[in-house]
Copies of this chain bind each other. A is one copy, B any other.
Amino acid sequence: MNPVVSAPRIYNWDDRKGAQPLDPALDGLVKDIIGKVADKWTMLILEALADHGTLRFSDVGRKVGDISQKMLTKTLRQMEEDGLVQRVVHPVIPPHVDYSLTEMGGSLGGAFCGVWLWAEAHHAQIEASRKAFAARNAAV
């Protein structure tokens, strides 16, 4: 029984395991955070703000792409609550609300950059996998 995944990797999960004792409570807390942070819209908004610095409400939506106002509002609120974004309201008419990453949000953006680079590096391979999967499925 070989417990080792053979692939050579840049990062190693053992780094994480070794650095932290396996505390169940902490583990649950971290999983909760991952569960909230590992969200489609959260990522996309994070990237938009990391890329452009400060954006108004509508501009965030425009940079993200296909997002409804509802999800934009909701996700932005959630990110504000978690301390990832800072929301500044200018009491003028018409309303003007600026969103930008906090320092913590910026650091998350940095951590996520690895995933972004991964996506760019592997998108062709992913599409190939999907085609192969579809063919395998159709072959039945």
Residue of B nearest to A64 (CB): B31
Task: Annotate A7-26 by CB proximity to B: 1 below 8 A, 0 otherwise.
Answer: 10111110111011000001
* A17 CB contacts on chain B under 8 angstroms: 51
Residue of B nearest to A13 (CB): B50
Closest CB in chain B relative to A73 CB, distance in Å: 15
What's the number of copies of this chain in the assembled complex? 2
* A68 CB contacts on chain B under 8 angstroms: none
Cα distance A14–B91 when bound, in Å? 33
**23 A–B contacts, CB within 8 A, in A order:** A2-B107, A5-B53, A5-B106, A7-B101, A9-B106, A9-B109, A9-B114, A10-B111, A11-B111, A20-B120, A31-B44, A33-B119, A33-B122, A34-B47, A35-B40, A38-B40, A81-B129, A83-B126, A83-B133, A104-B125, A113-B114, A114-B115, A115-B115
Nearest 10 pairs between A and B by C-beta?
Answer: A83-B129, A111-B114, A11-B110, A7-B106, A11-B113, A111-B118, A9-B110, A38-B43, A81-B133, A35-B40
